[in-house]
Amino acid sequence: MTLSVISPSHGKDVEQSNTIAIELLPTFRSAISSEAGINSGDVGLNTPFADLGIDPFMTFSILEIVQQRIGVELPASLFRDCNNLSEIQKTLGHGADVNGHSLRSSNRPLVEEIYRESEHLVGRFAAEAGVDDFWTKVYPSQKQLVLAYIVEAFAQLGCFLDNEAPGTVLSTPSGILAKHGRLVNTLFDILADGGLVERRNGNQVVRTSQPVDSTPSVVLFERLIQSRPLHAKTHRLLNITGPRLSECLTGAADPIKLLFGRSTSRDLLEEFYTNAPMSVAASKHLSALFRRIFSIKGDECIEILEIGAGFGGTTKFVLDMLVDAGIPFKYTFTDVSPSFFKEAKNRYANIPAAAGCVVYDVLDIEKTPPEKFLGRFHAVLSTNCIHATKDLTVSSTNARKLLRDGGFFALTEFRTRLYWLDLVFGLLDGWWLFKDDRKHCIADESFWKTSLEASGFSHVVWSEAIVDGQKPNPQVYFACTE
């Protein structure tokens, strides 16, 4: 974390009082937590330092830590003159000079530090959502079911993997629509990961000696539903298209009708976007970060815009947090289609007027945003939406245009492929619209970092926390403007 030092004698702009305190408070909390051996959450604004066990000798160590992190010297009398963080905030936030200088800073260090200080929450949210054992207890059975659906679909199309001798070169089953070419290539990748085939000489697909599991998909599905009820609705969504994969590939069945043509299917889609355990864990993480960042902005009304809000899964968590925290807000709920607005308006109609308001507007993030949105928002957020655009850099550049100076872009996106997604959303044209350098619509942290920085963001941060052997999936990214 670095803060610029600007001398008033040079006639430069001097930041208003609270800028100093806003930047320093997270650093003070972290330093006090480290030296006193307590949780940073226990270091309240008005908690007396004496109650935290801070003695005069400890104050020098705390000041040293803070000074090293921010790169400027603080008054040695600070802890003598102040009894709690609130008093430090007032002292440093009302014209205090450090070494005869005033401090000027951006939001980037604040956002980055709050993100890093909140890393310990990732595991807690995963446990609360029931995904802290996903990779060891759920994913293997889920992958087995996906493999069964693919093997059965290929057999229905005349490609019997269990009958093919090891070393046999496989070709694309006949009758598959040309538009599904990239999906078929992905299906071969999944079979390769399952050990049933291997790639040679580039695109050549060869059968291996590994036997095909003969357990029918219907049996595997029922086992998975019974053994992992928390994920049952996600797997019921997969079961809409999985058993009919061959029909979808040949055009005998329309995946759009399967997924959107019945209320039961639409309900499962909405459930995935709003209440799927992985989505819940990510939304809790995002909301906690927003709470910490915006709680220190006082009574300022926070303007937030959500891109592709859709079913409102993330919206609910963020709005509930803002109301609970007493943070004044104006929330702009957008989607490329207004079809989601009626239900959203009913859902959020009871938000107290004194707390904030929600407005609704159409926004296509692949196009230049309307002038009324430019440079306006403290934060722009998007959950599992930007990946479905043609070019991540173009879409992120348009999102950048919505932010005021010091604002940030928060994205929740899958970082690694979950194969069941390809058997559901991979049947839709939108899954394959990308025209940038991605190999698949789901991109890893490195690709997102490159794309966001190319869009004009100065810094990108994401979670490095490990839960059940993996980083969070979906991942929560914050991209800062300064």
User: Is pLDDT above 90 for 285?
Assistant: yes
According to DSSP, the β-strands at 329-335 and 302-307 are: parallel
The pLDDT assigned to 102 comes to 33
From-to residues of CATH 1.10.1200.10 in the chain: 4-105
Q: Which two tokens stand for residue 95?
A: 């014209």
HSE at residue 167, side-chain half, CA atoms within 13 A, is 0
Per-residue pLDDT, 94: 45
What are 461's two structure tokens?
């941060």
Tell me the CATH number of domain 4-105, given options 1.10.357.10, 1.10.3720.10, 3.90.480.10, 1.10.1200.10.
1.10.1200.10
Cα angle 426, 220, 420 (rounded to 5 degrees) comes to: 15
The end-to-end CA distance of the chain, in Å, is 12
192 SS3 class: helix
- What confidence score (pLDDT) does residue 297 get? 67
Residue 14 has pLDDT above 50, yes or no: no
Percent over 90 (pLDDT), the chain: 70
Rounded to the nearest 10 degrees, what angle do helices 277-295 and 107-117 cross at? 130
Across residues 399-411, what is the average pLDDT?
96
Q: Residue 36, CB half-sphere, CA atoms under 13 Å: how many?
A: 22
| pLDDT interval class at 234 (50, 70, 90) | very high
Least confident of 21-25, 118-122, 137-141, 218-222: 21-25
What's the rounded mean pLDDT across residues 85-102? 58
Q: Give the rounded distance of the alpha carbon of 55 from its chain centre.
A: 41
Residue 56: pLDDT band (50, 70, 90) is low
- Averaged confidence pLDDT in the chain: 88
| Cα 9 versus chain centre, distance | 44
For 279-480, CATH gives 3.40.50.150
Task: Please provide the DSSP assignment of 30-61 as one string.
Answer: HHHHHHHTS-GGG--TT--GGGGT--HHHHHH
Give me the pLDDT at residue 57, please. Answer: 62
For residue 106, the model assigns a pLDDT of: 46
Q: Is the bond preceding residue 166 a cis peptide, omega within 30 degrees?
A: no
Q: E strands of 106-166, at which residues?
A: none
Query: Which of 12-26, 36-50, 55-69 is least confident?
Result: 12-26
Which helix or strand (DSSP H or E) is residue 429 part of?
A: none
Task: Please name the residue that has the structure tokens 């399967």.
Answer: 258
- Taking the CB of residue 127, how many other CB atoms lie within 10 A of it? 13
Tokens of 378: 């403290």
**What is residue 340's predicted lDDT score, i.e. its pLDDT?**
92
Is residue 207 within 8 A of residue 168, CB to CB? The reply is yes
Structure-token pair, residue 183: 């999906």
When pLDDT is cut at 50, 70 and 90, the band that residue 209 belongs to is: very high
* 119-141 mean pLDDT: 96
Q: Hunting for tokens 């190999």 — which residue is that?
A: 439
Residue ranges of the chain assigned to CATH 3.40.50.150: 279-480
Instruction: Give the model's pLDDT for residue 23.
Output: 57
Q: What's the whole-model pTM score?
A: 0.78
Least-confidence region, from 156-160, 263-267, 299-303: 299-303
Distance separating alpha carbons of residues 473 and 390, to the nearest angstrom: 22
pLDDT tens, position by position, 3-13: 222 223 333 33
- The Cβ-side half-sphere exposure at 280, using a 13 Å CA radius, reads 18
Residues 6+ apart with CB under 8 A from 154: 160, 161, 173, 246
Residue 70 is predicted with a pLDDT of 67
Q: What are 295-337's pLDDT values in tens digits?
A: 876 678 999 999 999 999 999 999 999 999 999 999 999 999 9
- pLDDT tens string 352-383: 888 899 999 999 999 999 999 999 999 999 99
Q: How many helices (H) and strands (E) does the chain have?
A: 19, 12
Which region among 77-91, 133-147, 176-190 has the lowest average model confidence (pLDDT)?
A: 77-91
What three-state secondary structure class fits 437?
coil
What is the dihedral angle through the alpha carbons of 380, 132, 440, 263, rounded to the nearest 10 degrees? -80
| pLDDT tops 70 at residue 16 | no
Quote the pLDDT of residue 76. Answer: 63
pLDDT at 328: 93
Q: Above 50 in pLDDT, residue 15?
A: no
CB atoms inside a 10 Å sphere around CB 416: 13
Residue 390 backbone phi and psi in degrees, to 5: -65, -35
| CB neighbourhood size of 327 (10 A) | 22
Longest Cα–Cα distance of the chain, Å, equals: 84
Give the per-residue pLDDT at 414.
97
